Amino acid sequence: LLTLECFPKWYNAVKDQGYAWVSVCYYALETDEKMNLVCRPKCFDMIVYDLDIPLPKEECVKLRAEDPKRFQQLLSTVRSEALRLYHHLAKRYKCTPLLNFTGNRGYQLWLLLEKPLPALHYRMAFHYYIAGLTFGRELDPNVTDPARFMRLPYTRHEQGGLCLPLDPQSLEPLRLEQAVETVKPAPVNALEELISLEPISIPKKLVVGRFGKRSGRRRLPEDPVQLLEDMAPPCLKAIWGKLREKREISHSERLALAWFLQNLGYNDDAIVGLFKHAPDFNEKKTRYYLKRSRKPDGTPKYRMYKCSTMKNLNMCLDCGYGRNPVSWTLRRV
C-alpha cells in the first residue's frame, strides 16, 4: 500500500520507467475469516473513464511505427469521444473533470466526487454518470471493476510518451498547479440515494398479468413522483433524479421514463407533469410523443425496455435484477 509518507519516493522512482499506475480505489489491510492478512478496496472518490484506440496494444505499436498518419486519425477519433464525454459531464453535473492524455493510444477522464463512496458501488457510479450516452468501441463500459488501475499524470508511458493533463479547449498540457485548480468535483447526492436502495430478491416465477392493470394487492401510488422515489429501480430513479434537478436527459432516457410509467398505468397528464422539470420542456412535443406511444384504445403501444436493452443503451446501473424495470417495481408493491 502506498501511504502519504512513501508515495513521493515511489513516484520519483517509477515516473520515468513506465507502468506508473495506482489503484482507483483506496485499499485497506484486513484479516479474513481464516485470519489471513488481505488487501481489499474500501472506497473511491473518483471515477476513471478510459478511452483508447480499439486495437490491441501490439497492433497500435506496429501501426504507430508503420503508418503514423493512420494512427493519428484513430487517435483523433478517440480524442473527439473523450471531449464529448468531458463536455457531457461538465454540463450535466456542473463539474470539471480532468482530461489526461495517457502517453500512447488514448485518453482518460478523471471524474472527482464530492465525497468518498464505498468501493462495492464503483460499478453503479461508473454507469450512473454516463447513463444515456452511447459510445463506439473507444470506451469500454465493462471495465468497471473497483480493483482497476489508472496511469499517473506526469509519468512516462512504457511506449515512450508522457501522460499529461490537458486543457480541453486548447489541448495544451497543464502544469500541476493548473490541473489542481481546474478540477471541480461532481455531486453525489442523487447517487447516494440509489446506493441506499435495498437489494431486491429475484423470484423464481413472477406472474404480473397485463402491464398497467391494478388490483387490490398491486396498488401503486397515484402520484408518479412517489412511485419513482420509493419504488422505482435504480436506473429509473437515476433518470428521475436528473430530471428533478432540471438536468438534461437523453432521448433514450425520456422514452424509458415515459414507457415505464405508461406500462404501470399512469396517464399522460401525470407524465407530462414530470417532464415539466426538463430544461427544454415543450408540452406540445411531449404530448405528441406520449400519444404516439399509445394504441387507439389508450393502452401502451410499447413494452418497457428489458434490463438487457437498458444495458445496451447504457442506462443500466447494474442492480443485479436482469429482467424488466416494471416487474422490479411490481415486486416492491
The domain spans of the chain are 18-182, 197-330
In Å, the largest CA–CA distance within the chain is 72
Vertex 119, ends 116 and 53: CA angle to 5°?
Answer: 100
pTM for this predicted structure? 0.74
Q: Higher pLDDT residue, 36 or 214?
A: 36
- The confidence score (pLDDT) of residue 32 equals 78
Give me the pLDDT at residue 314, please: 84
What number is the average pLDDT over the span 61-67?
88
Separation of alpha carbons 101 and 82, rounded Å:
10
Buried b or exposed e, range 229-240, using 16+ CB within 10 angstroms: eebbbbbbbbbb
Nearest alpha carbon to residue 332 among 233, 191, 205, 224: 233
Confidence of residue 203 (pLDDT cuts 50, 70, 90): very low
Which of the pair, 255 or 146, is modelled with greater confidence? 255
Mean pLDDT along residues 255-269: 93
Over the stretch 71-91, which tens digit does the pLDDT of each residue have? 999 999 999 999 999 999 999
Task: Compute the distance between CA of residue 241 and CA of residue 256 in angstroms, rounded to an integer.
Answer: 14
Which residues, at least 6 apart from 125, have a Cβ–Cβ distance to it below 8 Å? 44, 47, 113, 117, 191
Contact 157/180 with Cβ under 8 angstroms? Answer: no
Distance of CA 282 to the CA centre of its chain: 27
Which class is domain 18-182? alpha beta
Share of the chain above pLDDT 70, in %: 92
Q: Rg of the chain over CA atoms, in angstroms?
A: 23
Instruction: Of 152, 33, 46, give the one whose Cα is nearest residue 89.
Output: 46
Q: What is the DSSP letter of 184?
A: B
Residue 265 phi, psi dihedral angles, 5° rounding: 100, 10
pLDDT of residue 142: 65
Core vs surface per residue 79-101: b (16+ CB within 10 A) or e = bebbbebbebbbebbebbbbbbb
- The CB-side HSE value for 321 (13 A sphere, CA atoms) comes to 26
All cell numbers assigned to 119: 468501493
User: pLDDT at position 217, please?
Assistant: 45
| Residue 287: predicted pLDDT | 92
Predicted local distance difference test score (pLDDT) of residue 30: 84
pLDDT of 4 above 60: yes
pLDDT over 90 (residue 36) = no
225-249 pLDDT tens trace: 999 988 888 899 889 988 988 888 8
pLDDT band for position 218 (cuts 50, 70, 90): low
pLDDT, position 200:
44
Cβ atoms within 10 Å, residue 179: 20
Q: 220 vs 266, which has greater pLDDT?
A: 266
pLDDT at residue 214 greater than cutoff 50: no
- Would you place residue 211 in the very low, low, confident or very high pLDDT band (cuts 50, 70, 90)? very low
Residues whose CB is less than 8 angstroms from the CB of residue 37 and which lie 6 or more positions away in sequence, other chains included:
29, 30, 31
At residue 190, does pLDDT exceed 50? yes
The pLDDT, as a whole number, for residue 143 is: 74
